[in-house]
Amino acid sequence: MIERVDGDVVAIAEFVVAFLLDVVVSLLLLLGVIVVVLFVDARIGVVLLVYCVLMAVAMLNAQRYAVPAATRVREKFAALFGNLEERLAGAEDIRANGAGNHVVNRFHRASADVYRADIRAERIGGGLFAATSVAFAIGTAIVLGLAAWSQQQGALSVGTALLLFQYTQMVRTPFERLIDQVQQYQKALAAIARIGGLLAEQRTLPEPAKPDPLPTTGPLSIELSNVGFAYADNHEAVLTDVSLLLEPGQTLGLVGRTGSGKTTIARMILRLYDPTQGTVRMGGIDVRNIGSASISRRICVVTQDVHLFAATVRDNLTLFRPGMDDDRLRAVLTEVGLSTWLRGLPKGLDTMLGAQGSGLSAGEAQLLAFARAFLADPGLVVLDEASSRLDPATELHIEEAIRKLLTNRTGVLIAHRLSSLARVDQVAVIEGGRVVEYGRRETLSRDPNSRFGRLLEAAGMV
């Protein structure tokens, strides 16, 4: 996508710049030469003109073969690099699972595709170049022959014949440039059409014309009424008739098997998608009537996989917002139990993390994400718990961090560990995109016939 936008803009820019320099200059030169030759010798001038027209038609036709071949080479290169990037990112998994040979094989095949496409394009390009050279040589020979003939007839002096020859030599460069510009012009036209299409693209989540303000402080209520949802690329309903009500400051635990729709419910609340049925209300307002800026200011989410940026610890915490006090950052890191980790960093808050810096363990990354959430001070926290197992000490840190984070905030906790549910007020059991059980945790856990009660029993927690 970025490559496309970038390529399109560059194509237009190149054409606009080259237009003045190449097209205007070349056209003037070409016309000048033809007019001068017409004046010097009308017959040779006409021959030159006819010759130029024939060459233009032939060369424009030849481009029809050359351009697709060149496009194909670019496509094959894009596939090769995409392939390479993906495999390099997954190098650990590939090596650990012994998929190396297969990956190398695929790399060779992708390289071979590039090689074949490139050979073909070069053949066409080289062939065209050779054909053009031969055609120009023939043209020169014809003009030279005509000039020599005229000179023998006494119609031209040797000097004028030589002059004509020189002029026809000057036709080639502007001519080739013009042909090249026709190609740039076609590319620029296509690029303009594509950019127009991109600019006309509508948001899938329309912003409200007059957004209703969310309360700027304090916990927020959440209400889902009969929410139904299906992902666009897969028409099967992922959520059906989901209704949940969470008072400000309360915590809801979502449990269910993998693929049951828990993360999708969180996405509804964050308005990453709009429900196909029903409504989601936050602080009593339909989320469709709340501006996206307001939602992101008041909700914080810690997901299953924490994304770290190739940036300093400070930037990873503040997400590049300037003006945060270092003391506050340190206090927050201490609060989530990362003070020892911070002290061990070579450059403290200025240590680089992510792709270019040191890596973090899964537990540390989770804790860092909690620290981000603390800094944002949201009214609603959505936690999609990591399903990976952490060591007991880190788990304790995380549980403690969750407890602090949920104090005085509304929380939705997607729990993969039943122990995390000890502090929630309500529990909803999700199955196949439906709420199959919903109620106060205490009530459900006391009822040995409830699904939640049975889950606790199976886990040996009652």
Please report, as ranges, the residues that interact with ligand ATP according to CB under 6 A: 231, 233-234, 238, 256, 258-264
* The entry of Mg ion, ligand ATP, none that residue 213 binds, CB within 5 to 8 Å by partner kind: none
150 or 260, CB closer to ligand ATP? 260
Inter-CA distances, 27 with 11, 55, 140, 178, Å: 21, 15, 20, 7
Segment contacting Mg ion (CB under 5 A): 149-157, 197-205, 242-250, 255-263?
A: 255-263
Judged by CB, which is closer to ligand ATP: 217, or 258?
A: 258
Of 261 and 363, nearer to ligand ATP (C-beta) is: 261
Adjacency order of strands within the sheet including 299-302: 299-302, 380-384, 410-414, 251-256, 426-431, 434-440
Q: How far is the CB of 387 from ligand ATP (least distance, A)?
A: 7
CB of 126 to ligand ATP, least distance (A): 47
**How far is 163 from 140, CA to CA, in rounded Å?**
13
Q: Which residue is nearest to ligand ATP (CB)?
A: 263
Applying CB under 5 A, the site for Mg ion has a residue count of 1
Q: Which is nearer to Mg ion, 240 or 263 (CB)?
A: 263
- Tell me how far, at minimum, the Cβ of 264 lies from ligand ATP, in Å: 3
Candidate residues 83, 111, 240, 263; the one interacting with Mg ion per rule CB under 5 A: 263
Strand stretches in 370-416, DSSP E: 380-384, 410-414
Min dist. Cβ of residue 371 to Mg ion (A): 22
Distance from C-alpha of 313 to C-alpha of 348, rounded to nearest angstrom: 8
Could you tell which of ligand ATP, Mg ion, none binds residue 264, using a CB distance below 5 to 8 A set by kind?
ligand ATP
Name the residue with tokens 């070069």.
122
Q: Is 374 helix (H, G, I), strand (E, B) or coil?
A: helix
Shortest Å distance, C-beta 262 to ligand ATP: 4
Shortest Å distance, C-beta 171 to ligand ATP: 59
Measured from the CB of residue 236, what is the shortest distance to ligand ATP in angstroms?
8
Q: Is 93 exposed, middle or buried (0-12, 13-18, 19+ CB in 10 A)?
A: exposed
- Which among Mg ion, ligand ATP, none contacts residue 129 (Cβ within 5 to 8 A by kind)? none
Dihedral of alpha carbons 282, 283, 289, 293, sign? negative
Instruction: Output 103 or 435, the one with its CB closest to Mg ion.
Output: 435
Cβ proximity to Mg ion, 221 vs 366, nearer residue: 366
Q: One symbol per residue from 52 to 91: x for binding Mg ion (CB under 5 A), - otherwise; what is it?
A: ----------------------------------------
Q: Residue 68 binds which one of Mg ion, ligand ATP, none, with CB within 5 to 8 A depending on kind?
A: none
Backbone angles phi, psi at 365, to 5 degrees: -60, -40
Rounded Cα distance between 274 and 262, Å, is: 15
421 DSSP 8-state letter: G
B/e letters for 126-151, b = 16+ CB within 10 Å, e = fewer, are eebeeebeebbeebeeebbebbeebb
Binds 320, which of Mg ion, ligand ATP, none (CB < 5 to 8 A, cut-off by type)? none
CB of 258 vs ligand ATP, minimal distance in Å:
3
Nearer to Mg ion, 169 or 263 (CB): 263
Beta-carbon contacts of 303 under 8 Å, excluding residues fewer than 6 positions away, are 369, 384
Would you count residue 183 as binding Mg ion (CB under 5 A)? no
Nearer to ligand ATP, 73 or 266 (CB): 266
The amino acid occupying position 412 is: V
Separation CA 455–CA 215 (nearest Å) = 37
If binding is defined by CB under 5 A, does position 303 make contact with Mg ion?
no
Give the span between the Cα atoms of 329 and 370, in whole angstroms. Answer: 12
Q: In a 3-state reduction of DSSP, which class is residue 413?
A: strand
The pairing of strands 251-256 and 299-302 is unpaired
| Residue nearer to Mg ion on the CB measure, 106 or 416 | 416
Beta bridge partners of 74: none
Which residues would be at the binding site for Mg ion (CB under 5 A)?
263
